[in-house]
Copies of this chain bind each other. A is one copy, B any other.
Amino acid sequence: MISAQSIWKDVVKIREQSPLVHNITNFVVMNNTANALLAIGASPVMAHAEEEAEDMAGIAASLVINIGTLSPPWVRGMKKAMMKAASRGIPLVFDPVGAGATPYRTQTVKELFVAALPLIIRGNASEISALVNAAGNTKGVDSTQSSASAVNAAETLSGLYKAVVSLNGETDYIVKGKEHILIHNGHALMPKVTGLGCTATALTGAFAAVNSDYYAAASHAMAVMGIAGEIAARTAKGPGSFQTDFLDALYNLKESDIAELLHTGEEK
């Protein structure tokens, strides 16, 4: 079970160790995810070219792959970085942005998973369901569903790839096999800001860099996202000011904030 203490322990480690998180992510969110990683205390680096992706993954503490605005040269870089991460045993966090929306995205995920399997997969209900379908498990899952309705898909995915699945929505379900940790934190403004899902993935990379229990690390990251979101919502006047307030909240996060706001649960 996660707790304010266990979350805080990781935050302190991130601030002390400042782990290098290598991101190959999409154009829309790069600035946001780099700033969120800096705000929590990590060191972000973005490098996608196949000429250097492997070298950068070779010096990173964790690797974050996000397929948001993918194209063939980027996929080649992702593949090289993923294989390097797997060979080094550093955590590989994967965000299947828009999986299921086009055949190219779904096909690319398949192709990348042949190169290396992620240790943590973070996505919303549609994306997690699409990955299960792409794996041949075509139960016909509705793509506009709530996170609760995709929990079965998350369990299937977790079992297939021996990965922790972080399924996000109004409630976050962090799934490991048949076990779940539920996070009830967050705020209604968060889906009104682009890239907060991608930011969750990046922060998951930072937590996994300092905590080799990836089930806990992924849960800690989602709790911190939700709690920082709730703090930001106290002062935000809309999705614009929410963004700056969110980064301020991440940077100023205290153990007492987590103790006060953490709203979690566990299911088997």
Which residues of A line the B interface, CB within 8 A?
26-32, 34-35, 38-39, 44-49, 51-52, 55-56, 59, 68-73, 98, 101-105, 191-195, 236-241, 243-252
**In the complex, how many angstroms separate the beta carbon of A78 from the nearest chain B beta carbon?**
13
CA distance A32 to B29 in the complex (A): 10
Q: Which residues of B contact A44 (CB under 8 A)?
A: 194
Copy count, this protein chain: 3
Q: Are A248 and B239 in contact (CB under 8 A)?
A: yes
A–B complex contacts, Cβ < 8 Å, 9 sampled: A27-B27, A28-B46, A35-B193, A38-B193, A47-B102, A55-B104, A237-B245, A238-B252, A239-B247
Q: Are A55 and B249 in contact (CB under 8 A)?
A: no
Whose C-beta in chain B lies nearest to the C-beta of A55? B102
Q: Which residues of B contact A39 (CB under 8 A)?
A: 192, 238-240
CA distance A247 to B241 in the complex (A): 8
Q: Which residues of B contact A194 (CB under 8 A)?
A: 31, 34-35, 38, 44
CA distance A47 to B99 in the complex (A): 12
